Amino acid sequence: MFVMGIDPGLTRCGYGVVTRNGSIYKTVGCGVLTTSLEVDLPCRLAILAADLRALYDDFRPSVVVVERVFFQVNVRTAMSVGQASGLALATAAAHGIEVHQYSANEVKLSITGDGAASKGQVATMVTRLLGLDSPPKPVDATDALALAMCYLSAQRYNDTVKRSSQRNVDSVERSAQHNNGSFIRAVK
């Protein structure tokens, strides 16, 4: 399963594609989509949408994970990040790709164990967990890889919980069958 993380931005939109085999993460690809400040907004949005569609066609991810933006001090930046985020979500949905969102703090907690970790700490852990020689550049690509890894980590946890829950249900059912329903008779 390929999972694509998207660190949304209109000027720089990071992407990272990761797969996992057991506890081993592997980078499939990463980079940054860019649009020029010299182009008017509608054209920049159209360019980004086309680039995102091309990425989804090239990598064919099973899941796309987009950073959820909660707060930006700069309103102008918040608007452009929101627009890029909307494009990433909409184009993935239009491709029939499962979409998830995580906040920056959720990603930091998943990758480093600290929801308030610095960008440098996240980059160090992404580099280490992916077995890379150095952090991907620019940081938008690193953040996108972290988003994909966050989803894979959460998925692994969810799969473990499901298996554990199913074992408990199976055990109770076996016990009930073994006791020949005596518990039910005792309760009545």
**Cα 20 to the center of its chain, rounded Å:** 13
Which of the pair, 35 or 72, is modelled with greater confidence?
Answer: 35
Active-site residue (options: 98, 106, 114, 140): 140
Closest CA to 65 of 131, 136, 7, 119: 7
pLDDT > 80? residue 169: no
Q: What average pLDDT does the segment 100-104 reach?
A: 96
At which residue do the structure tokens 């995580």 appear?
102
Instruction: Report pLDDT digits (tens) over 6-19.
Output: 999 999 999 999 99
Active site residue 7: yes
Q: 162: how many CB neighbours lie within 10 A of its CB? A: 10
pLDDT in tens, 170-182: 555 555 555 555 5
Share of the chain above pLDDT 70, in %: 81
Name the more confident of 33 and 80: 33
Q: What is the pLDDT of residue 187?
A: 43
Active site residue 140: yes
Is the pLDDT reported for residue 83 higher than 60? yes
98 as an active site residue: the answer is no
Considering only CA atoms, which of 61, 149, 163, 157 is closest in space to residue 102? Answer: 149
User: Where does residue 68 rank: exposed (0-12), middle (13-18), buried (19+ CB within 10 A)?
Assistant: middle
Catalytic residue among 38, 51, 67, 159: 67
Q: Where are the beta strands (DSSP E) in the chain?
A: 3-7, 12-21, 24-34, 63-68, 98-103
**Active-site pick, 7, 57, 58, 173:** 7
pTM across the whole model: 0.83
DSSP state of 67: E
Q: Are 63 and 1 in contact (CB under 8 A)?
A: yes
Render pLDDT for 56-80 as a digit per residue (tens, 0 to 9). Answer: 999 999 999 999 987 667 777 888 9
What mean pLDDT is predicted for residues 141-152?
A: 97
What tens digit of pLDDT does each residue of 38-51 get? 999 999 999 999 99
What pLDDT does residue 145 have?
98
d(CA 76, CA 162): 43
